[in-house]
Amino acid sequence: MKAALLGLCPAPGAVYQLGTRCLVWEHQAVLLLEFARSRGLLPAELLAAAGFSSMPSLLSPQQLLDLLAALQAQLQAPDTAFVLGQLSLPGHAGLASHALAQARNGRQALELLAAHSARLSPLLTPRLLWHEDELLLIWTEACGVGAAQRNFVVDMQMSAVTALCQWLGGRRLPWRYSFNRSRPRDLSQHAVFLGADLQFDCQVDAMRVPAACLDEPWPRGVADSMAAQALAQGADPGAAGRGLLAALYDHLLPRLREAPTLEQSAQAFGVSSATFKRHLAQHGTHFQAQLDQVRTHWALYLLLLQGQSHERVAQALGFHDRSNFRRSFKRWTGLVPSLLA
Amino acid sequence: MLISPLLKALQPVPQAPVLGLAHFGHLLALLMAGLMAAFAWGGEAKPLQDWRWMDVAGEGGMVLMAAIWITQLRSSRPGGRVTSWLCLGLAGILLGEWVDVLDEFWRLPKAVVWDNWLESGMTPLGMLVLTIGLQHWREEERALSAQLLKRERLIREHRSFDAITQLGDADYLARQIALEQRREGQSGAALLMLSLDGFDSVAREHGLAEADRLLQAAGHLLILNLRPEDLLCRYAGDRFALLMPGAGPALAAQTAGHLQQALGGLAHHSRQGQRIQRPARVVWSAVDPEEPGAQQPLHLAARL
pLDDT > 90? residue B253: yes
Query: Measured between beta carbons, which residues in chain B are less than 8 angstroms from residue A100?
Result: none
For residues B108-137, give the mean pLDDT.
88
CB B230 within 8 A of CB B150: yes
What are the start-end ranges of the H helices in B43-80? 53-76
pLDDT higher than threshold 90 for residue B116: no
Percent composition of chain B: helix, strand, coil (DSSP 3-state, to 5): 60, 15, 30
pTM attached to this predicted model: 0.79
**pLDDT above 70 (res B10):** no
Question: B46 with B104: CB under 8 angstroms?
Answer: yes
Residue B228 has pLDDT above 90, yes or no: no
> What would the pLDDT profile of A68-82 be if each residue is shown by its tens digit?
999 999 888 889 999
- Return d(Cα A333, Cα A325) in angstroms, integer: 12
Whether residue B149 is predicted with pLDDT greater than 70 in this model: the reply is no
Check residue A341 and give its pLDDT: 46
In this prediction, residue A109 has a pLDDT band, given cuts at 50, 70 and 90, of very high
| Cα A209 to Cα A173: distance, rounded to the nearest angstrom | 7
Q: Count Cα neighbours of B166 within 13 Å in the Cβ-side half-sphere.
A: 13
Task: Average the pLDDT over each of A19-23, B87-91, B139-143, B185-189 and give the range with the smallest value.
Answer: B185-189
How far is it, in rounded angstroms, from Cα B239 to Cα B196?
Answer: 8
Cβ contacts of B238 within 8 Å, gap of 6 or more: A192, B195, B196, B199, B200, B215, B218
Q: Do A91 and A27 contact (CB within 8 A), yes or no?
A: yes
pLDDT band, very low/low/confident/very high, at A239 (cuts 50, 70, 90):
confident
| Amino acid A340: pLDDT | 58
B197 touches chain A (CB under 8 A): no
pLDDT tens-digit series, residues A178-227: 999 999 988 999 999 999 899 998 889 999 999 999 999 999 888 888 88
> Which amino acid does the sequence have at A214?
L
CA distance A103 to A170: 13
Asked if pLDDT for residue A110 goes beyond 90, the answer is: yes
Q: For residue range A312-325, what is the model confidence (pLDDT) as tens digits?
A: 888 888 888 888 88
- Give, as one character, the DSSP assignment of residue A141: E
CA distance B147 to chain A (A): 24
pLDDT tens across A12-31, in order? 778 899 988 988 888 888 88
Q: Give B-chain residues touching A189 at CB under 8 angstroms.
A: 170, 236-237
Contacts of A69 in chain B (CB under 8 A): none
Interface of A with B in 166-195 (CB under 8 A): 166-167, 185-189, 191-193, 195
Interchain contact B283–A (C-beta under 8 A): no
With 80 as the cut, is the pLDDT of residue A144 above it?
A: yes
Determine the pLDDT at residue B183.
78
What mean pLDDT value characterizes chain A? Answer: 89
- Which percentage of chain B shows pLDDT scores above 90? 35
Q: Pick from B163, B171, B200: which is nearest to A86 by CB?
A: B200
Q: Which helix (H) or strand (E) holds A85?
A: helix A80-88
What one-letter code names the amino acid at B207?
G
When the candidates are 3.40.50.300, 3.30.70.270, 3.40.50.620, 3.10.310.40, the CATH number that belongs to B158-303 is 3.30.70.270
Domain boundaries of chain B, sorted by first residue: 3-147, 158-303
**What is the pLDDT confidence band of residue B241, given thresholds at 50, 70 and 90?**
very high
- How far, in Å, CA of A321 to CA of A314, rounded? 7
| Residue length of chain A | 341
Q: What is the mean pLDDT of residues B45-49?
A: 87
- Could you tell me which of B168, B193, B164 has the C-alpha nearest to residue B179? B168
What distance in Å separates residue B178's CA from the closest CA in chain A? 15
